[in-house]
Amino acid sequence: MRRLALFALLMATPAMATTGDMSVATFLSKADALKAKGLMALGSSDIKLLRAEGQAAGMAYGARLQQERAAGKPSSCPPKGARPSSNEVLAHLRTYPAAKRANMTMKAAMADYFIKTYPCN
C-alpha cells in the first residue's frame, strides 16, 4: 500500500477529486496534446486533471490490493518503495490496442500495470 501511496502522491493534486474512470484513450489523448505543447503546457488545467486521474486510479488499486492482502490473495506484490514513472505508465497505456483504449478505465489499466509489473512469485 505504501508504494501505491507514493505513486498516488506523485500523481496528486489535492484540489481535484476524480474517480479514475477516465478512459485510457482520453488520458493518452490529453497527455499527447500536453507533450506537443512543450513548455506551454505548464499552465494547462489538463496537467492537474491527469495527475488527479492517476491519483484516483492508484488509490483505487491500493485499496483493492489492501483487501486482497487481508484475504491472503494479493493480485500483485510490488516491492517497498516501487514508484512507476510517468514514462512507464504511459508506455503501459500504449500497450493496449487502440480499439480497446476507449473502453479501458485508468483504474483497470493501473491495476493491470501493477499485476503485470509486480507479479507474486
The 3-class SS string of 32-68 reads HHHHHHHHHHHHCHHHHHHHHHHHHHHHHHHHHHHHH
* Residue-number span of the structural domain to which 94 is assigned: 2-117
The per-residue pLDDT for 2 is 46
In the predicted structure, residue 104 carries a pLDDT above the cut 80: yes
Question: What are the backbone angles phi and psi of residue 102, rounded to the nearest 5°?
Answer: -65, -25
Alpha-carbon span 100 to 3, nearest angstrom: 28
**What's the structural domain count of the chain?**
1
Cell (9 digits) for 51: 495527475
- The pLDDT score that the predictor gives to residue 39 is 80
pLDDT score for 41: 78
Q: How confident is the model at residue 4 (pLDDT cuts 50, 70, 90)?
A: very low
pLDDT for res 7: 45
Q: What pLDDT is recorded for position 83?
A: 78
What does the mean pLDDT of the chain come to? 85
**What is residue 5's predicted lDDT score, i.e. its pLDDT?**
40
SS3 23: strand
Is-contact 106 20, C-beta < 8 A? yes
Q: 9-65 pLDDT, tens per residue?
A: 444 434 345 688 999 999 999 999 998 888 877 778 888 899 899 989 988 999 999
